Amino acid sequence: MAPSQPTAVQTATSPPPAASAATPVAPAKQPEQKVQKLPLQQTRMVNCAVSLRFLIDFCRTVPEDMPTWKVVTDVIVPATRQRQCRYVEMIEPRHVGPCDYFISHRWATPFSHLVRYVRKHLVELGDVVEEGGAGIGDGSSGAAGVAAPAGVVLTKTKSSGKGKSSTADDDDEAEPTRSADKVFVWCDIFAINQHPGQVQADDLAQLK
Asked if residue 74 is part of any domain, the answer here is yes
User: Is residue 26, in this structure, part of any structural domain at all?
Assistant: no
Q: Is residue 31 part of a domain?
A: no
Left (φ > 0), alpha (ψ -120 to 50) or beta: where does 45 sit? alpha
pTM exceeds cut of 0.85: no
- Output the pLDDT for position 117: 92
Task: Encode pLDDT of 153-190 as tens digits.
Answer: 667 876 554 444 443 333 344 555 788 989 999 999 99
Helix (H), strand (E), coil (C) string for 61-109: CCCCCCEHHHHHHHHHHHHHCCCCCCHHHHCCHHHEECCCEEEECCCCC
Domain membership flag for residue 192: yes
pLDDT, tens digit, 9 for 90 and up, residues 107-127: 999 999 999 999 999 988 888
Say what the pLDDT of residue 3 is: 54
- Give the mean pLDDT of the chain: 75
Higher pLDDT, residue 100 or 15: 100
Predicted confidence band at 48 (pLDDT cuts at 50, 70, 90)? very high
pLDDT in the model for residue 41 = 58
pLDDT number for residue 22 = 56
Q: Give the rounded percent of residues in the chain with a pLDDT score beyond 70.
A: 59
The structural domain count of the chain equals 1
Residue 24 counted as domain residue:
no
**Residue-number span of the structural domain to which 109 is assigned:** 45-167+174-205
Higher pLDDT, 1 or 75: 75
